[in-house]
Amino acid sequence: MIFSFLVRRAINASRRMLATSSCRTGNPIDDCWRCDKGWDKNPQHLAECAIGFGNNATSGKHGKIYKVLDTKDDPVNPKPGSVWYGVIQDEPLCITFSQDMVIKPKQDLRTNSFKTIDGRGANVHIAGGPCINMHSVTNIIIHGINIHDCKREGEGDVRDSPRHAIRRKKSDGDGISITMSSHIWLDHCSISRCPDGLIDASHGSTTITISNNHMTDHNKVMLLGHSDSYKKDRKMQVTIAFNHFGEGLGQRMPRCRYGYFHVVNNDYIHWQTYAIGGSAAPTINNQGNRFLAADERFNKEVTKRENTPEYIWKKWNWRSEGDLFLNRAYFIPSGSTSPELYANANSMEA
């Protein structure tokens, strides 16, 4: 239990520093930029603060600052000053917001490569329509955006670059959908109440970090991997770190297929079915998480192997190291504990 003690000591130290109004929080991402009083003059610096498998997401680091001025939404012919106009551009951009705003997309907000969408300094909501879609892109950062109440709607034309528009069917209703994409970092977002998943990544997507997000009020939270038959997801690597999985969540925090997953220093509260699950032999490396089970006697197990007999799943490499289990929560490990077999699922120091 030395590992858990170190995690608790770090949390307590972080709280003491916050109480003395220090810019240091104990969170490596926040400590990277919060002590810079001029961070709003150089938002591109945020890209240097990433951790985990998505830490090479340069995104808008080498681009100009593009400021969103209003909530106007024209997915086919977007105008300068709208978020649509910024996200479809070909060149790297760091997209910031001039004021608090609620953006209700008519179509998926389809993001081009090398973009940072940075909500720091404003209260920005994307809600009430189709939400964020990344398809066949690379180097995306989404930071500090409230994403909620997304909808399954929006069939029609949508522009995905200055020169190209495509015909889209209705949105699946994900908060954030990632397909065939790489070098993605999702940080400090609040995500809730979507008809499909809050975050889904599939179809060969990889090198992703999901960190510091607050997720509530949803059943199937996070799907990583398309299907048990889609073997291109074997290369998937995802870091899930410092997230708060809060009230009203059912399952899939995450649900993994194939690939390698580092689940580290997260806080789980009162899952309704299970917290961490999977199929198709994913490697899951759990370190330093806190699991607080609900009071219901049948909602204590953290893990679930989907549609697989025990003689098969007992060979999958799932381990728990330094996790804190409260209110009789428990984790069923499987496979080997050899560190070498978790090398591809180890993305940062816990």
List active site positions: 252
Please answer whether residues 154 and 130 qualify as being in contact, where contact means their C-beta atoms are separated by less than 8 angstroms: yes
Please tell me the distance from the alpha carbon of residue 227 to that of residue 110, in angstroms, as a whole number.
23
List, in order, residues 6 or more apart from 234 with CB less than 8 Å away.
258, 259
Query: How many C-beta atoms lie closer than 10 Å to residue 314's C-beta?
Result: 14
Please tell me the distance from the alpha carbon of residue 39 to that of residue 103, in angstroms, as a whole number.
24
127: tokens are: 């809600």
Please answer whether residues 103 and 147 qualify as being in contact, where contact means their C-beta atoms are separated by less than 8 angstroms: no
What is the 3-state secondary structure of 85-148? HHHCCCCCEEEEECCCEEECCCCCEECCCCEEEECCCCCEEEECCCCEEEECCEEEEEECCEEE
Q: Is the link from the previous residue into 75 a cis peptide, with omega within 30 of 0? A: no
Helical (H) or strand (E) element with 19: helix 2-19
List, in order, residues 6 or more apart from 91 with CB less than 8 Å away.
63, 64, 114
Please answer whether residues 261 and 253 qualify as being in contact, where contact means their C-beta atoms are separated by less than 8 angstroms: no
Termini Cα distance of the chain = 14
Please tell me the distance from the alpha carbon of residue 317 to that of residue 245, in angstroms, as a whole number.
23
